[in-house]
């Protein structure tokens, strides 16, 4: 993390602030476009990767090596008297947590669509999610100058797949050789390109359909020639209402369309006051007054990203929704609602240090961060991604944004003793940085599991452990805990008799055993007649049996779901003891397993898989191949989503996140809950 000796752009009135998230599938050109915007505004001398492979927004080692974005990149620039913060989000579904953080911090989403690859299913799904929460949206078609680029087809796909309100604003002007020369603005009535009149009419009608100026509609119906200046205010209103979605075009590396896009960002995108603020409560969950985007209002800000820098320490990227964040003032840090993800509820008062404006890895000092702005805060010791910053005298809480549940477990072991000493601290920092991560020490196997969204997410987390935190780990196969139960009924005698001179040990028990119902555990009772086993030793027998069942009969598989009855036995007035009857009980359980035989059981889960309707058949076919039992499905025709319910062995879920993503092109998700144990197939029921 570098600190610039220069200063950030001066604070602007909230009406002149724009926060825009660049979203879209991987490879669509989001980072290239963002850097072209930085170059056009003078924030960067040039775009693209320099000799060491770095860019302004992709700065992590894994991003440099793989040349793809895996984290939220942020840069603040100035254009036409406006302050624009660009939030460059990753395109891979594995990093949806960074994507949703960018959307939380933004007031509008700019969907970046490749003229070569068009619109994928994941982009359509994200568009629908943004529509459901009223997020203003626009589209920019990029890579116009690539081979096989088809702008008309990309626009047609956007209009077909993204729904109503999608209107092109530009036509692409190409030379005789097909090279992109520039753009044709459809709001310019002097342009006479093919189809321009029809497209211009559709565009103008879409804009004034959202207008509150009745005179404008009357002028249009009367045949007046409307120009861009007549429509620009209504264009901004239409976009802010999230009913109108302009489609622009850009070839960033050639510089085509970059200025036009900047102009649209300042003239056609909503400011923070128009987008509004998220709901808030008190930290205890009680109601709190709604917020307004007012620099003089109560302080409410949210940590949307956390990173750890070896020189600066913990850096929190913060979006201020209300009030003004200033250096050297006390704030209340509150995190609630994510305990099930390994983020316990917490509240603490801390003092704000220096504030900076981010430009990728460069931090430029600012004097204050008012409502609507985004800044970086260093050295907030307890703040985690998703936490709320507010006044200690009037604490508030912004509920966390929706995040996927990590479903891919990765078992970790420290590579050395020195790494083991640092591993716990490093993992705690990873969890604080990324709320899509869950850390678990599994009691039944003893393994340390890092739950990730997908394989690429896991790779990045391991890389961060190594490069950012200096900890080397190795991954080992995830162990699915198997258990055993009795295969049938039996009666055995357990004899623990030792005479070695002096005080001996004497305990004899007769035990009947049989398999119990699934989930019943170890059920112990006694039917002793005549006091053959004194009552004070009944508990000793049970204790020995339960300890042996937990240790397992063969290897380390616990014995479960067994009904045991103490029916007879013998005791000695001198040599019988608690320890002797515990040993006899344990021996009897081993004898029962030998006499009746055992069955190996594997854990099963109940899953709910949510996918677009077109992928239901493929998902059901894959589940059947994983020994799953499909128990039902439910279609949501409005959202075109189907929920498939099934019961499936846990071992079959170890690789399922990646397979589901492949089968559904990144649009499927699933949840699970433990269901119990069932007999394992022969290939899994090998000796432990």
pLDDT of residue 53: 43
pLDDT of residue 578: 95
CA distance 239 to 242: 5
pLDDT tens digit sequence for 518-530: 889 999 999 998 8
Burial of 393 from C-beta contacts in 10 A (0-12 / 13-18 / 19+): exposed
Work out whether the CA dihedral 294, 295, 300, 301 comes out positive or negative: positive
pLDDT tens digit sequence for 66-97: 666 778 889 888 999 999 999 999 988 888 88
pLDDT value at 264 more than 50: yes
The model's pTM: 0.86
**122, 309, 402, 641 from 405: Cα distances, Å:** 17, 27, 10, 18
pLDDT of residue 50: 43
Roughly what angle, to the nearest 10 degrees, separates helices 616-624 and 656-663? 150
pLDDT of residue 157: 94
pLDDT value at 654 more than 70: yes
Q: Kindly give, in sequence order, each residue whose CB lies less than 8 Å from that of residue 7, ignoring residues fewer than 6 positions away.
A: 364, 365, 366
Q: Kindly give, in sequence order, each residue whose CB lies less than 8 Å from that of residue 685, ignoring residues fewer than 6 positions away.
A: 482, 599, 600, 679
Residue that wins the pLDDT comparison between 563 and 10: 563
Q: What are phi and psi of 627, to 5 degrees?
A: 65, 20
Helices and strands, counts by H and E, the chain: 16, 33
Q: Kindly give, in sequence order, each residue whose CB lies less than 8 Å from that of residue 70, ignoring residues fewer than 6 positions away.
A: 60, 62, 63, 90, 92, 94, 95, 98, 456, 460
Candidate from 186-195, 225-234, 463-472, 514-523 with smallest mean pLDDT: 186-195
User: In 3D, which of 515, 475, 517, 506 has the Cα closest to residue 580?
Assistant: 506
Q: How many other CB atoms sit within 10 Å of the CB of residue 499?
A: 10
pLDDT value at 507 more than 90: yes
pLDDT of residue 659: 94
Residue that wins the pLDDT comparison between 684 and 371: 371
CA distance 570 to 111: 80
CA distance 553 to 588: 11
User: In 3D, which of 169, 117, 123 has the Cα closest to residue 146?
Assistant: 117
Residue range 22-51: mean pLDDT, rounded? 81
SS3 of the chain: helix, strand, coil, percent, to 5: 30, 30, 40
pLDDT of residue 236: 86
pLDDT tens digit sequence for 601-627: 999 999 999 999 999 999 999 999 999
pLDDT tens digit sequence for 205-216: 888 888 777 788
Structural domains present in the chain: 13-275 (3.40.50.300), 408-476 (3.30.70.870), 483-596 (3.30.230.10), 600-679 (3.30.70.240)
pLDDT of residue 48: 53
CA distance 205 to 579: 89
Question: Could you tell me how far CA 183 lies from the centroid of its own chain?
Answer: 38
Q: What are phi and psi of 461, to 5 degrees?
A: -65, -40
pLDDT value at 9 more than 60: no
Per-chain mean pLDDT for the chain: 88
Roughly what angle, to the nearest 10 degrees, separates helices 151-162 and 121-132? 50
Burial of 407 from C-beta contacts in 10 A (0-12 / 13-18 / 19+): buried
pLDDT of residue 47: 56
Q: How many other CB atoms sit within 10 Å of the CB of residue 240?
A: 21
**214, 231, 590 from 211: Cα distances, Å:** 7, 9, 82
pLDDT of residue 52: 43
Residue range 177-182: mean pLDDT, rounded? 84
pLDDT tens digit sequence for 551-570: 998 777 899 999 999 999 99
Candidate from 148-152, 217-221, 274-278, 548-552 with smallest mean pLDDT: 217-221
pLDDT value at 54 more than 60: no
pLDDT value at 29 more than 70: yes
Q: Which residues pair with 139 in a beta bridge?
A: 111, 247
CA distance 642 to 490: 48
Roughly what angle, to the nearest 10 degrees, separates helices 214-221 and 196-208? 150
Residue range 431-459: mean pLDDT, rounded? 91
pLDDT tens digit sequence for 299-348: 999 999 998 777 777 889 999 999 999 999 999 999 998 887 777 889 99
Q: What are phi and psi of 306, to 5 degrees?
A: -130, 130
Roughly what angle, to the nearest 10 degrees, separates helices 228-240 and 196-208? 60
Q: Which residues pair with 525 in a beta bridge?
A: 565
Task: Look at residue 426 and give its three-state secondary structure.
Answer: helix
Candidate from 34-48, 117-131, 658-672 with smallest mean pLDDT: 34-48
Intra-chain end-to-end CA distance of the chain, in Å: 49
Residue that wins the pLDDT comparison between 215 and 281: 281
pLDDT value at 442 more than 60: yes
Q: Is 442 left (phi over 0), alpha (psi -120 to 50) or beta?
A: beta
Q: What share of the chain has pLDDT > 70, as a percent?
A: 93
Q: What share of the chain has pLDDT > 90, as a percent?
A: 58
pLDDT of residue 51: 41
Contact 182, 251 (CB under 8 A): no
């Amino acid at each position: 993390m570098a600190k610039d000796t220069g200063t950030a752009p001066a604070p602007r009135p909230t009406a002149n602030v724009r926060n825009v998230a660049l979203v879209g599938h991987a490879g669509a050109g989001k980072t290239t476009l963002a850097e072209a915007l930085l170059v056009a505004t003078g924030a960067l001398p040039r775009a693209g990767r320099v000799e060491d492979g770095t860019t302004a927004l992709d700065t992590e080692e894994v991003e440099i090596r793989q040349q793809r974005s895996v984290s939220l990149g942020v840069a603040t620039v100035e254009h036409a008297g406006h302050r624009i913060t660009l939030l460059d989000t990753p395109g891979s579904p594995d990093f949806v947590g960074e994507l949703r953080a960018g959307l939380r911090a933004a007031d509008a989403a700019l969907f970046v669509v490749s003229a070569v690859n068009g619109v994928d299913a994941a982009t359509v799904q994200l568009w629908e999610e943004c529509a459901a929460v009223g997020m203003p949206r626009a589209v920019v078609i990029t890579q116009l100058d690539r081979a096989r680029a088809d702008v008309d087809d990309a626009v047609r796909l956007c209009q077909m797949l993204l729904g109503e309100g999608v209107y092109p604003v530009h036509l692409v002007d190409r030379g005789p050789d097909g090279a992109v020369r520039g753009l044709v603005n459809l709001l310019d009535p002097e342009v006479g390109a093919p189809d321009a009149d029809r497209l211009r009419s559709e565009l103008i009608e879409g804009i004034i359909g959202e207008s509150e100026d009745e005179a404008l509609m009357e002028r249009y119906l009367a045949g007046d020639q409307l120009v861009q200046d007549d429509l620009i205010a209504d264009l901004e209103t239409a976009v802010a209402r999230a009913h109108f979605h302009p489609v622009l075009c850009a070839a960033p590396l050639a510089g085509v369309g970059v200025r036009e896009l900047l102009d649209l960002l300042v003239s056609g995108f909503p400011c923070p006051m128009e987008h509004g603020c998220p709901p808030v409560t008190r930290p205890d969950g009680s109601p709190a007054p709604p917020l307004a985007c007012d620099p003089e209002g109560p302080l409410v800000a949210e940590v949307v990203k956390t990173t750890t820098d070896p020189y600066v320490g913990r850096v929190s990227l913060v979006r201020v929704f209300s009030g003004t964040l200033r250096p050297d003032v006390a704030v209340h840090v509150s995190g609630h609602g994510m305990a099930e993800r390994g983020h316990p509820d917490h509240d603490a008062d801390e003092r704000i240090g220096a504030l900076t404006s981010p430009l990728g890895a460069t931090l430029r000092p600012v004097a204050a961060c008012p409502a609507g702005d985004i800044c970086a805060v260093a050295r907030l010791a307890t703040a985690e991604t998703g936490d709320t910053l507010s006044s200690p005298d009037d604490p508030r809480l912004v509920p966390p944004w929706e995040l996927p549940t990590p479903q891919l477990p990765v078992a970790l072991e420290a590579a050395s003793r020195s790494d083991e000493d640092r591993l716990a601290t490093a993992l705690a920092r990873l969890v604080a940085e990324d709320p899509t991560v869950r850390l678990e020490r599994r009691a039944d196997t003893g393994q340390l599991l890092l739950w990730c969204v997908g394989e690429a997410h896991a790779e990045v987390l391991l890389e961060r452990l190594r490069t950012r935190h200096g900890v080397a780990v190795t991954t080992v196969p995830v162990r699915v805990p198997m258990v055993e139960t009795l295969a049938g009924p039996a009666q055995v005698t357990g004899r623990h008799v030792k005479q070695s001179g002096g005080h001996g040990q004497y305990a004899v028990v007769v035990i009947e055993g049989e398999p119990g119902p699934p989930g019943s555990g170890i059920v112990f009772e006694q039917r002793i007649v005549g006091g053959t086993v004194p009552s004070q030793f009944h508990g000793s027998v049970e204790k020995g049996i339960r300890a042996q069942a937990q240790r397992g009969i063969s290897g380390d598989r616990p014995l479960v779901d067994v009904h045991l009855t103490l029916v007879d036995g013998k005791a000695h007035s001198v040599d019988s003891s608690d320890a002797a009857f515990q040993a006899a009980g344990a021996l009897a359980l081993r004898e029962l397993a030998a006499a009746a035989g055992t069955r190996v059981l594997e854990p099963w889960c109940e899953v709910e898989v949510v996918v677009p309707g077109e992928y239901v058949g493929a998902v059901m076919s894959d589940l059947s191949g994983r020994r799953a039992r499909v128990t039902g499905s439910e279609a949501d025709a409005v959202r075109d989503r189907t929920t498939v319910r099934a019961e499936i062995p846990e071992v079959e879920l170890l690789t399922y996140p990646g397979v589901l993503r492949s089968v559904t092109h990144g649009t499927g998700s699933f949840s699970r809950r433990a269901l119990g144990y069932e007999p394992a197939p022969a290939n899994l029921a090998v000796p432990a």
